[in-house]
Amino acid sequence: MGRIYLDYAATTPTHAEVLKAMRPFLRDAFGNPSSIHSAGQEARVAVEEARDRVASMIGASSEEIVFTSGGTEADNFALKGMAYANEGKRNHIITSSVEHHAVLETCKFLERLGFAVTFLPVDGCGMIDPDDVRKAITEKTLLISVMHANNEVGTIEPVAEIGKLARESGICFHTDAVQTAGHIPVKVDDLGVDILAMSAHKLGGPKGVGALYVRKGTRVVSFMHGGEQEKGRRASTENVPGIVGFGKAAEIAQRDSDREAKRLTTLRDRLAQGLAQHVERVRLNGHPTRRLPNNVNVSVDDVEGELLLLNLNARGICVSTGSACSSSSSEPSHVLLALGLSHERARGSVRFSLGRETHERDIDRVLAIMPEVVTKLREMPPSMKGTAAEAVAAGNPLRNAILRYETENHTRMLCRFSHLRCLTCPGSGVGKGCVLAKWQLARRESGTPDG
Ligand code: PLP
């Protein structure tokens, strides 16, 4: 039985037509678009065609598109570029508490430079109230930044309403459309946005390329200095194959996204309803209807999301946890906490995100496996139920089952469980060798019996 990939919100497979379009630019058509000779001009034409395609997908004009290295850079560019453009004039930014780290961390950085940031709360479904945005506006507000749809719970924000009030107040409006561009209708005039971030690898394009839409007349200061590429807005030789791939992915999305969104909505609802029917005590996170066509995020009571992920992975199903656990922290996701979920419920969450290669049979297989896996995890002795880190902290041997996952995929475990290392060997870097080995070594040294 093949692998079932349900983590399209993290990244998507590169579309076959995209690969085909990119291939010539990886070898024969390798010119630098800034070169005047024919090899350079060939690349220039391809970059400009791709720009037209990306612009067309969002109802913009080509000169309003600046290519970047991805969604993170586009968000950084939007926020820093607007902040720098307003230095000494306005110093206040309004955003939400559920933004992607690309926005949140940039806002925190700007706070350290002296800008003031209002992080607005959301309701239990993850929705921002436009009225809260209105109330937060001051004469110092330079930018409102609210994401189009949330990457974890899939809630679609009232961006058009916020855009309208931003316009009425004469304030620039940025939206992070990384999860929506190419998936649901994104037209810059309908949304009333001035700046919009996109990323190619979320819509069947390659990784390492994205774009920022900047409405004509909006001043965004460049934060990449060097050559005059992208009309002086973003220095560095263009990633020609990546940009060509992005253009192709945008063209395909424009052609297929309505049909695909309908298909995915049906599969999404089949999965959400099936989980509610077949697994006891499962709750949907995010908005019940105003959500991305491909997102199902659920909390499963009395189950730790990370263990659920590992057990599903062992059965060939790739999902992600809502409780994004970075290498240094086992804190639950800021998004789920902002929705008002308890730490326990946030830790018990998993996100299924569907895509082009997801079919009904995949959903049915997940629905067949989930009850079994959840029952198994619920039947684990209480000492085994916390996070892996908690189990180690409490001196509990981890089950063989968990150890096996650790050895099966070292890379994931280095990321997922590197906090084990912090508990057993404080201050040590991961370096060579696997976490499991270090953990076992530390346990032997501390005299903890092997499990
Ligand atoms: N914004 C959102 C909402 C995202 O989901 C992501 C990626 O997960 C990003 C920004 C960052 O995009 P990239 O991976 O292209 O840097």
Is the minimum distance from the CB of 72 to ligand 1 under 6 angstroms? yes
Q: Are strands 320-321 and 349-353 parallel, antiparallel or unpaired?
A: antiparallel
Q: What is the pLDDT of residues 75-86, one digit of tens each?
A: 999 999 999 999
Of 107, 125, 318, 325, which is the active-site residue? 325
**Counts for the chain of helices (H) and strands (E), in that order:** 18, 13
Report pTM.
0.87
Domains of the chain: 16-253 (3.40.640.10), 258-446 (3.90.1150.10)
Q: Which residues, other chains included, contact 87 with Cβ-Cβ below 8 Å and sequence gap of 6+?
A: none
Q: What is the pLDDT of residues 349-381, one digit of tens each?
A: 999 999 999 999 999 999 999 999 999 888 875
Instruction: Kindly give the residue spans of alpha helices, DSSP state H, lying in 145-239.
Output: 159-169, 188-191, 229-232
Annotated active-site residue 325? The verdict is yes
Do residues 234 and 160 touch, judged by C-beta distance below 8 A?
A: no
Residue 182: which region, alpha, beta or left (left: phi > 0; alpha: psi -120 to 50)?
Answer: left
Cα separations in angstroms, 64 against 54, 91, 209, 220, 359: 10, 25, 16, 12, 37
Do residues 345 and 301 touch, judged by C-beta distance below 8 A?
A: yes
Task: Name the nearest CA neighbour of 172 among 138, 145, 201, 152.
Answer: 145
Distance CA 106, CA 79 (A): 7
Share of the chain above pLDDT 90, in %: 77
Q: For the ranges 42-51, 212-221, 308-317, 357-366, which has the lowest average pLDDT?
A: 308-317
Do residues 244 and 22 touch, judged by C-beta distance below 8 A?
A: yes
Distance CA 353, CA 435 (A): 29
Residue nearest to atom 12 of ligand 1 (CA): 71
Is the minimum distance from the CB of 178 to ligand 1 under 6 angstroms? yes
Q: What is the pLDDT of residues 195-253, one digit of tens each?
A: 999 999 999 999 999 999 999 999 999 989 999 999 999 999 999 999 999 999 999 99
- How many CA atoms, within 13 angstroms, populate the side-chain half-sphere of residue 245? 31
Q: What is the pLDDT of residues 394-413, one digit of tens each?
A: 444 443 333 333 334 433 33
Is the minimum distance from the CB of 147 to ligand 1 under 6 angstroms? yes
